Structure 1
Amino acid sequence: MVDAREVNLGLDLCLRVGELLLSSGAGAADVTATMQSLSYALGLREASVDITFTSLAMTYQDTPDDIPIVSTRQVKQRAIDYEHLTRVDHLVRDVLRGDLDLRGARTELGRITSTGHPRARWAVTLGWGVMCAGVGVQLGGDWAVIGLALVAAITIDRIQLRMARRRMPSFYQQVVGGGVATLIALGVSATPISINVSQVVTANIIMLLAGIGFMGALQDALTGFYVTATARLTEAFLATAGIIAGVSGGLSIGAVLGLEIPRLQPGEYSLQTVGMLALGSALAAAAFAYSCYAPKRILLPIALVAGTAISISGTLQNAGIGRAWGVAIAALFVGLVSFSVSGWMRVPPLVVVVSAVVPMLPGLSIYRGLTLLGEGGSSIPEGLLAMTAAISVAIALSSGVILGEYVAQPLKREAQRLETRLTGPRLVGPVDHVVRRDRWRRRRTAPDGSQTDEVA
């Protein structure tokens, strides 16, 4: 490309793709690599990409004596949308294969971002309810716990949806979510209905934790994007602090009203409960993916991966291995199989990875830490240890998955060059479709019928 208009259109396409990937939780290394591959395929060689948590910038200079063309774009909203993520991933691959030109790619991207979802919003709300019901099964809850977790999740989602439409910051949404879950559970416990409050609250805590970008934060830190990693961690800690504030606020209101505040005594998983553990985990993971608009074809594989992973974690803990190590090994399994599964189902590995680890999020440790800290006195050190354990589990999940991706992804020639340059695995974007235009070849048929390969 030599025309400035074409250059600007190409940069704009790359930035719009990068914005969608970044807002869906993709790591900065994946976004950078995808934008560079896309720009190279469009003829913008040596275009540079700069990513922060809230903005993207791209610079192109054809020759050293030309004036650089700089284009920027702000990341205005962050909503996990695996349908758009998958469709954009396919769009990028089509451009790299030469099936789409610049104009066609821009048209398709506009169609992706402007059209709605075939999945109704009420179905998404129901999906969040089913997810929390699955966590209730995973925790060994009875029908009352499962039903109340479902109702509480639906209530939380509808309230948070209204708050989001009013542009309320996510911190306040998390506070309200944690408070609503706790008050609903405590209110029902005050009735003649016998219910395990801690299991209901824990199920909804995991729902609130599910959308937090621990995975992207640690991936950015491991791949050298420290500014973006710091921003993601800040957002994650702020969202988690909102959950803590909401739950502790609900517990405080319950204490003022004279309601009994139960103390959680989490038991270790036993071999007799591994079957229900796997069933609840599979249901929760598939429902989370469904609620994030993941394609229906990937729901069953996600359920199988999540059920197997939680079985590995539960069995190892029952054998005496610490929870963090058990979770890390299970997450390593998720990272190992997600690359192949996502390839078969034609979705980015990020969709499988995040959904499959959701049931292993440390909701139990957070609730236990809060209740112990609320008791005060001699329980404070034990509560701090529980909160530390929650952080350890979150780190174990992220690092285990990323290590699995390092081991699993095939290091072919182009992929190996890409990994060497970016220092990290790919959870979004093509790995083995890095385009070298000077190596494209096409077969020509001469008038005499002979065929020759010609460099394109």
Structure 2
Amino acid sequence: MRRDVRRQPARGPQPRLLPAVAGHRLDHGQQGGARGRHGAHGARGRPAPDRPCGRLRRPAGRRGRAHGRRRAGQGGVAALRGFEGRAPRLFERSDGLERLIRRRRQRRTYPEAAHPREARVPIVALATRVGAAALVAGASAAEATQMILRLGIALEVPLHVDVTYTSIMVSAPDIGGSAPVTMVRTVPALARDYARLGHLVGIVDRVCAAELEPAEASRQLKERELSGMEYRRWVRFGAAFAQGASICALLGGVALDMLVAGLATVLIAMVTVGQQVRRGSYFFTQVAAGAIPTALAVMLMYLRRFGVDELWTLSPALVVASGMVSMLAGMGVVAAAQDALDGYFITAGARVVELLMRTGGLILGVAGVLWLAVRIGAPAYLAPEAVTPPHPVVQIVAAGAFTVALGVVSGLGPRGAVIVGAFGALGWAAYLLALTPVGGEYPIAAGLAAAVVGLLAHLMARKLGPPAVAIITVGIAPLMPGMFLYRALFRLVVGTPAVHPRDTAEELFMLAALTGIGLALGSSVGAAVGRRLAQPTERVARLATQIALGRGRLRE
């Protein structure tokens, strides 16, 4: 056996001493030799303790160097074992760093098997009926989705929703091994009925508050669908007359102009109701709606030509423009823009196509009658005249009266009609205030006024009662570019030279289009800001709103 040299005292003559150097480190052989011959200080590469001579011993020979190499290997193994001991702590630190950097993703969970399949069927049926009724009444796709998801969260049933312009699909996935429940409901032709939309919101609130069972809620919704509009027909026709007369007064018409414009709007309402009863095409309804006020104006001009002197104060351009504004007010500009901003592009695209078709039908009706009037020699009587706008107070009152009448036609109750009338007057006042700072640019001023209406509508809708989409749609109706559109059609059909460079048909069409875009964007941006500021106080409603808006963005 090899002897352990560490325990043996040094024998023989002492080697020559080397001068000591502070901080001197030895290589592996020297470390081993020093440790083997002189103890632990040599192995650590440290200088020996200070001696009177201040010198270190010389490293040992070949035998000491070999032993030093073995000790160095043992030291490396010990260091590796020490690293293995510290490695879990290092990995724990890296996991903590990863948790610090990365965002924790929490999955939304629902209680498993909260309802068996038989109990989930009425819940899915109610959610599908609610979504379809909301779209028909005039709600946007995000609002319909929010109502459906709110019912699912409140009743503890996870729902997958797919909302398009013509159908709604609601599915409750399999939970705990049970079969899924999926229902599809087609959406009929959209007809604005904001009173029904408000009633629908009330039913959803009661179901989420556990005050109403799903089966009873479905029964009440079915009864509401069969009951029809809230007002009698003569009330709606009276509101249509007030609608035409007030918008004519807003544009600067006199009493005779207001009377004729009101009669033209009543005729348009009659034709529209008849077409709805017969389920006719909305395109031809718009063609008839555009042709009626224009044909009435042509007939009155010919009566004036044959000696009826009382008609000399009549302005046919105001009559036609009033009818066009009344029909443009019924289009879903706000809902189309809101669906596009919320990310429901299929529904937004369908609404835009319908908007273009309705506007095209209206233009076709007006242009067709104007073409006939040109052929029979009546263009001078139908030329758009320069009308002095009335006093700003008169304009604000007329805008409020127009929106009240439009609210009644749209199905709002008396209180709701008065509320939207106040918003209509507020929107027109905002337009008048913004007109001077923007240099008289009508599209910009109209867009700013629409943004004000959209913002305040969402901030105050839950306190006032009417749905926000009803307040916005009706509140911005007086700002529709009816006069610009009529002047553009007249320039295009008649071909008279423009007095001003911006009075050509192309410029007027562009101005009308920019006004429509400004109204859509302004109202949608204001509504988006107001919706973010006025989050529902109820947790379920707030969660459903966030999921509905997030789903819209994820579809992109």
Structure 1 length-normalised TM: 0.87
Stretch deviating more after TM superposition (366-375 or 110-119): 110-119
- Do the aligned residues in 2 keep the contact of 1:365 with 1:389 (CA within 8 Å)? yes
Q: 2:369 aligns with which of 250, 271, 276?
A: 250
Q: C-alpha separation between the residues in 2 aligned to 1:186 and 1:400?
A: 36
- Do the aligned residues in 1 keep the contact of 2:340 with 2:348 (CA within 8 Å)? yes
TM-superposed CA distance for 1:234, in Å, is 0.2
Amino acid at match of 1:8: V
Amino acid at match of 1:167: R
- Do the aligned residues in 2 keep the contact of 1:135 with 1:203 (CA within 8 Å)? yes
Q: List gaps (5 residues or longer) in structure 1.
A: 427-456
Q: List gaps (5 residues or longer) in structure 2.
A: 1-113, 305-310
Q: What's the counterpart of residue 274 of structure 1?
A: 392
Q: C-alpha separation between the residues in 2 aligned to 1:390 and 1:260?
A: 22
SS at the partner of 2:476?
helix
- Do the aligned residues in 1 keep the contact of 2:168 with 2:185 (CA within 8 Å)? yes
Stretch deviating more after TM superposition (280-289 or 61-70): 61-70
Q: What's the counterpart of residue 118 of structure 2?
A: 5
- Do the aligned residues in 2 keep the contact of 1:27 with 1:219 (CA within 8 Å)? yes
- Do the aligned residues in 2 keep the contact of 1:29 with 1:424 (CA within 8 Å)? no
Q: 1:387 aligns with which of 509, 530, 555?
A: 509
Stretch deviating more after TM superposition (315-324 or 233-242): 315-324
- Do the aligned residues in 2 keep the contact of 1:140 with 1:276 (CA within 8 Å)? no
Q: 2:528 aligns with which of 375, 383, 406?
A: 406
Number of aligned pairs? 423
Q: 1:423 aligns with which of 532, 541, 549?
A: 549
CA RMSD of aligned residues (A): 2.3
| Higher relative contact order (Cα pairs below 8 Å, separated by 6+ residues) | 1
Q: 2:426 aligns with which of 292, 303, 308?
A: 308
- Do the aligned residues in 2 keep the contact of 1:137 with 1:279 (CA within 8 Å)? no
SS at the partner of 1:59?
strand
Percent identity of paired positions between Structure 1 and Structure 2 = 23
Stretch deviating more after TM superposition (247-256 or 58-67): 58-67
Q: Please give the per-residue CA displacement for 1:215-266, whole angstroms capped at 9, x wherever unaligned.
A: 1111111111111111000000000000000000111122222223433255
SS at the partner of 2:162?
strand
TM-superposed CA distance for 1:339, in Å, is 2.5
- Do the aligned residues in 2 keep the contact of 1:278 with 1:307 (CA within 8 Å)? yes
Q: What's the counterpart of residue 217 of structure 2?
A: 105
Q: 1:187 aligns with which of 277, 299, 305?
A: 299
SS at the partner of 1:44?
coil
Q: C-alpha separation between the residues in 1 aligned to 2:426 and 2:272?
A: 32
Q: What's the counterpart of residue 334 of structure 1?
A: 453
Runs of 4+ in 1 over 6 A off after TM superposition: none
- Do the aligned residues in 2 keep the contact of 1:222 with 1:424 (CA within 8 Å)? no
Stretch deviating more after TM superposition (111-120 or 407-416): 407-416
Q: C-alpha separation between the residues in 1 aligned to 2:326 and 2:199?
A: 25
Q: What's the counterpart of residue 43 of structure 1?
A: 156
Amino acid at match of 2:352: L
Q: C-alpha separation between the residues in 1 aligned to 2:283 and 2:392?
A: 35
Q: C-alpha separation between the residues in 2 aligned to 1:241 and 1:118?
A: 31
Q: C-alpha separation between the residues in 1 aligned to 2:503 and 2:463?
A: 48
Amino acid at match of 2:137: S
TM-superposed CA distance for 1:377, in Å, is 7.8
1:90 aligns with 2:202: yes
Distance 1:417 1:267, change over 3 A: farther
Q: C-alpha separation between the residues in 2 aligned to 1:4 and 1:396?
A: 49
SS at the partner of 2:188?
coil
TM-superposed CA distance for 1:381, in Å, is 8.9
- Do the aligned residues in 1 keep the contact of 2:335 with 2:469 (CA within 8 Å)? no
SS at the partner of 1:255?
helix
Q: C-alpha separation between the residues in 1 aligned to 2:479 and 2:368?
A: 25
Q: C-alpha separation between the residues in 1 aligned to 2:123 and 2:281?
A: 33
Bigger Rg, structure 1 or 2: 2
- Do the aligned residues in 1 keep the contact of 2:230 with 2:411 (CA within 8 Å)? no
Amino acid at match of 2:412: A
Amino acid at match of 1:421: I
- Do the aligned residues in 2 keep the contact of 1:128 with 1:288 (CA within 8 Å)? yes
- Do the aligned residues in 2 keep the contact of 1:284 with 1:359 (CA within 8 Å)? yes
Q: What's the counterpart of residue 274 of structure 2?
A: 162
Amino acid at match of 2:153: Y
Amino acid at match of 1:111: E
Q: What's the counterpart of residue 435 of structure 2?
A: 317
